[in-house]
Amino acid sequence: MNMSPLKVGQEFLVTIKRIGINGEGIGYYKKQAVFIPGTLVGEEVVATCTRVAGGYAEAELVRVKRKSKHRVQPACEVYGQCGGCQLQHMSYQEQLRIKRDAVSQAIERYTNLDPEECDIRPTIGMKDPYNYRNRAQMPVGYDEDGVMVGFYSMNSRELVNVTDCDVQYEEINTVINHAVDLLDDYKVFAYAPKTKKGTARYIVVRRGFKTGEVQVTFVFANNEFRKMNALAKDLMKYCPDVKSVYLNINNEDTHEIFGKEMKHIAGEKFISDELGRFKFNLSPRAFYQLNPEQTIKLYNQVKYAAALKGNEKVVDAYCGVGTIGQWVADKASEVRGVDITRQAIADAKENAKLNGLTNTYYAVGKAEQIVPKWANEGFKPDVVIVDPPRTGLGTELIEMLKRVQPKTIVYVSCNPSTLAKNLKELTKKYRVDYIQPVDMFPQTSHVEAVVRLVRQDRPAKKQR
């Protein structure tokens, strides 16, 4: 029996008490938690209940009766429709504050640790928190004018037309709009998942932070289009910064962007980019941080947390194309990276060669299996760097860390909830020295954090 004080469609008045992990305001109506996107702490709002589930409810903002001083006018015309950003209505300084709070709340909720004793530091932000993304992957659809691209609205598969995304590089927006026009000109129809008709599924564009080189990958559902070479040449003519064009075939019923088949169509096989003193070659599948300006700050925080003196052995788990391990390699005796993706390891080796590094080694496989093997062979790491996906560290990897017992673990997190759950287990052998949040994605609810963990038998010496 539903004992909720709210019913779907009911309009009500509530005061927002805090911000949830996904950026929505949380108020309490007759002691029931209500999640309301687009609201800020301290605001008194009128909302309409849209869903009742278990001990909470969801609602849609109708109007703000009492505004927060942190409320600002969103820059984007489709903010609130497009699901890409959640915080454009919030001042940037308040965004940085609530992201630190998100980490603190997760620690409090999922662990027995006192957040005050974890030394959670102020979030490192950007000077200009717009036009920072170096990569876009945009679904293809239709509107009244023909083929279009956009982003899905929040919690739905409705595609919102976006021609000028405020968090992407302007040059990426320009390339995408030309690519859309060419799909229209060449009569390449958008793929409809329900009917399985049409061809174009996504346009993926990446631009080098320093080099300005652009790589475009068209994701099609089939091989029926026969003029891909001509389309690619036209795109490169209209957009001279486009140096590499690929076609990916994805005919699976999946939310994954890329399918298995990747074809090089025109230009170079890689684009190059530079971060700090490092050079990287990037293929379409290569993992590369989306905000290069903040990536430099993030990687410098990793290097600082590792506190290397020059004689340490370092393991870079989830190493991807090797960026983090190579960033710290000049202060280590040897860095070994491991990743389950064969292409990523091939790219890591190539990047190490490109940057003249002679103290790196890479292996394909699971870190929880390979690192103990290395330890048995005499390579016992002093520092392990982990940069897992949003799902966090698996149980086997955590047990491996507790078994191998490096002196220091540097945990790079992109999800406060899974970070906190992992810390609950890791702190059985380690203690949290400090946590440094970094804002990699302004205007969204996402926050990254660098955590320095030291073995409990090591003397307390806080990094500052």
Q: Give the CATH number of the domain where residue 322 resides.
A: 3.40.50.150
Catalytic residues: 414
Region for 142 from its dihedrals, namely left if φ exceeds 0, alpha if ψ lies in -120 to 50, beta otherwise = beta
Spatial CA neighbour of 286 closest among 271, 268, 267:
271
Spatial CA neighbour of 454 closest among 427, 430, 435, 434:
430
Q: In what order do the strands lie in the sheet with 200-207?
A: 159-161, 146-152, 135-143, 200-207, 214-220, 242-249, 261-267
Residues 325 and 432 reside in one and the same domain: yes
Give the model's pLDDT for residue 461: 54
Residues 261 and 299 reside in one and the same domain: no
Give the model's pLDDT for residue 463: 61
Spatial CA neighbour of 200 closest among 138, 265, 263:
138
Give the CA dihedral 43, 48, 49, 55, nearest 10 degrees. 20
Residues 219 and 297 reside in one and the same domain: no
Q: Is 363 part of any domain?
A: yes
Residues 108 and 167 reside in one and the same domain: no
Residues 222 and 321 reside in one and the same domain: no
Give the model's pLDDT for residue 406: 96
Residues 263 and 297 reside in one and the same domain: no
Q: Is 77 part of any domain?
A: no
> Amino acid letter at 158?
E
Residue that terminates a domain, selected from 227, 242, 275: 275
**Bridge partners, 190 (sequence order):** 200
pLDDT, block means (10 residues), the chain with 464 residues: 82 96 95 96 98 93 98 94 93 98 96 96 97 96 88 84 95 98 96 91 97 98 96 98 98 92 96 92 88 97 97 95 95 97 91 96 94 92 95 93 95 97 96 98 97 86 59
Q: How many domains does the chain have?
A: 3
Q: Is 129 part of any domain?
A: no
Residues 225 and 348 reside in one and the same domain: no
CB–CB of 149/215 below 8 Å?
no
Residues 345 and 447 reside in one and the same domain: yes
Residue that terminates a domain, selected from 275, 302, 325: 275
Give the model's pLDDT for residue 143: 82
Q: Is 108 part of any domain?
A: yes
CATH number, domain at 265? 2.40.50.1070
The 8-class DSSP code of residue 115 comes to G
Q: Is 91 part of any domain?
A: no
Residues 303 and 187 reside in one and the same domain: no
Residues 42 and 153 reside in one and the same domain: no
Q: Is 445 part of any domain?
A: yes
For the chain, the residue count is 464
Give the model's pLDDT for residue 153: 84
* CA angle, residues 440, 105, 111, in degrees to nearest 5: 110
Q: Is 140 part of any domain?
A: yes
Residue 36's domain comprises 11-66
Residues 112 and 154 reside in one and the same domain: no
